Amino acid sequence: MENPMEMFDVIVIGAGIMGSCTAYQTSKRNQKTLLLEQFDFLHHRGSSHGESRTIRATYPEEYYPKMALKSETLWREAEEQIGYKVYFKTSQFDMGPSDNRALQAVISSCQKNSIPVRVLDPISVFQEFDGLIQLPEDWVGVVTEHGGVIKPTKAVSMFQTLAVKNGAFLKDNMEVVEIIKKKDDELSGGGVLVSVKSGEKFWGKKCVVTVGPWMKKLVKTVTSGVVLPIQPLETTVIYWKIKQGFESKFTIGNGFPTFASYGEPYIYGTPSLEFPGLIKIPMHGGRPCEPADRTWAPTLTLDPLKQWIQERFGGLVDSTKPVMTQSCMYSVTPDEDYVIDFLGGEFGEDVVIAGGFSGHGFKMGPIVGKVLADLVIEGEAKDVELMHFRIERFEKNLKGNLKNFDDQVSSAH
């Protein structure tokens, strides 16, 4: 007689930061959890690999800061459990023209969320950062204490390790090709049947899909036709050389912040940390592609970035050419807000999806994992209002949530 198939409480598909945090959360709550990954664990073909991601609470949208603060607490809790650090704290510095609507919205969303914020003129910015950052006369700088750098590959590995410690099962080189809703009767037992390319099948009461840039493709396949507006983009991480003698000035130890510059292009960066003497300064956005058809080549023209570096860092960073570039993937929605929802249709509330993190999801991994665990275990999210993340927003308006600023959104499309 054939062995009856083992049943999992939760099957999580995709082991980037979102899937790894979810597997950690569900296993912590005594759910028998299986995490499936199509490639090797900790591979470099998705969005969650590399050496640095910014954590910040400064967002023009009022619904992200509280999520970021909750995530900050969960990052610290996980670090305490594992016994090593993945999160290196510094302040966050946002800058841009004083009439930039997104930057103005950042200031008011901090205030509404009770996040202490200091708005500085160019002279005060120069003094605040030891003469390292120079702003034009009509710009302002915005300082908050909730900034820092997270080490992505190390952080994903941390959550996978914690999930295993909680009893989760992790399997890599398992490309999921089909998810079928099982009939909800005594004979079939309900839930979902997940099949991988090699032919193996896994049975779960619930399923969470966190497949990053592959989301549109997988959802279309398993639903026979639902097309989510989540566009994969190929983007480039760029490192620049700090001029000799100034290397230590741009470090967290010297109080250098994580930073973002509003306007076109939207530029962001982290203090010198992972590669001594180098500083990461990329641009938001990239080239639309399918994950299987990537060029792995730099995606954007660098002239505006070179000029920005020269002007903002007073010649202390060599802006003539980058010293290193790395390829990475974004999954972008039209409004750059996340998609966190039940898949619906024939799957009802048995399958939950989370994607479209639009280049700003990493910091939120721990809180997103908690929300996804809530959705599959309790049927509702406790810590986060999901209104802005529902799929149905695109049925009402193809562009999704309405915003009265457009910097970040326009640069990615």
Would you tell me which residues interact with ligand FAD (CB under 6 A)?
Answer: 13-19, 36-39, 46-48, 53-54, 175-176, 210-214, 218, 235, 237, 328-330, 355, 357, 359-363
Least spacing, CB of residue 244 vs ligand FAD, in Å = 27
Compare residues 18 and 281 and give the one whose CB is closer to ligand FAD: 18
Distance, in Å, from the CA atom of 337 to the CA atom of 355, rounded to the nearest integer, reads 9
Least spacing, CB of residue 79 vs ligand FAD, in Å = 17
Compare residues 105 and 150 and give the one whose CB is closer to ligand FAD: 150
Least spacing, CB of residue 187 vs ligand FAD, in Å = 28
Vertex 384 angle, CA 380 and 385, to 5°: 80
Least spacing, CB of residue 376 vs ligand FAD, in Å = 16
Q: Burial of 23 by CB count in 10 Å (0-12 exposed, 13-18 middle, 19+ buried)?
A: buried
Compare residues 26 and 235 and give the one whose CB is closer to ligand FAD: 235
Compare residues 53 and 393 and give the one whose CB is closer to ligand FAD: 53
DSSP state of 242: B
Residue nearest to ligand FAD as judged by C-beta position: 16
Packing angle between helix 17-28 and helix 365-377, nearest 10 degrees? 50
Residues facing residue 267 across a β-bridge: 261, 283
The H-or-E segment that residue 261 falls in is strand 258-261
Question: Hey, what are 60's tokens?
Answer: 């023009």
Least spacing, CB of residue 219 vs ligand FAD, in Å = 10
Which of helix, strand or coil describes residue 28? helix
Compare residues 106 and 122 and give the one whose CB is closer to ligand FAD: 106
Cis peptide before 265 (omega within 30 of 0): yes
Question: Are the CB atoms for 179 and 164 separated by under 8 Å?
Answer: no
Least spacing, CB of residue 201 vs ligand FAD, in Å = 14
Compare residues 38 and 122 and give the one whose CB is closer to ligand FAD: 38
